[in-house]
Amino acid sequence: MASWFKNKRKDEDSTIEVRAAVIAEVDREPDRVVEQEGEAVPQEELSDDFRVEPALVSIAPEVYDQAIAERLSLVSLCLYAHDRARSSGVAERIEEGLAAVGVRAVRPDGDRFDPAFHEAGGTLVTEDAALQGTVAETEVVGFSDRGQLLRPPIVTVYTGRVGSA
């Protein structure tokens, strides 16, 4: 999120503080030569007076809250588009984009069914006692945002026959 605020200028109404844009260039070019007192000196040999520190960005709480609200709105829109994508390629691309910002698809196939994290959409009878209570398949993909569940996956769960021990 901080990269969005880089290069924004501080004015009277804003509490966004950013050091010079040169800092970002120095971070990308560690072997860059800088002039110190008229002489070209490699970055690692600069005196403390000339050494460039990493950029500092502080954001006003209301700006931060707005950015978070907008992010949640965009993630929600992406989930909506994912659910309605007719092409598996489009759905996959949306998942990749979401994963790049920390939102992961949840497909618990083969995991133990946990009603705290999964929603049962149906059952599938099995004779194998070891499979009972595990997720047979994911009907609707769930999503989590950096570990926080946004939407539980809807799953089919293996069960035993009614009346069998």
pLDDT, tens only, 76-99: 999 999 999 999 999 999 999 999
* pLDDT under 50: residue ranges of the chain: 1-24, 26
Neighbours of 69 (CB within 10 A): 10
SS3 21: coil
Read off φ and ψ for residue 89, nearest 5 degrees.
-65, -40
- The tokens for 78 are 């992406």
> Helical H runs in the chain?
2-5, 22-28, 61-84, 88-100
What's the CATH fold of domain 105-164?
A: Nucleotide Exchange Factor Grpe; Chain A, domain 2 (2.30.22)
Model pTM score: 0.62
Residue 13 is predicted with a pLDDT of: 42
Listed by start position, the domains of the chain span 59-101, 105-164
State how far the alpha carbon of 121 is from the alpha carbons of 10, 67, 124, in Å.
52, 35, 10
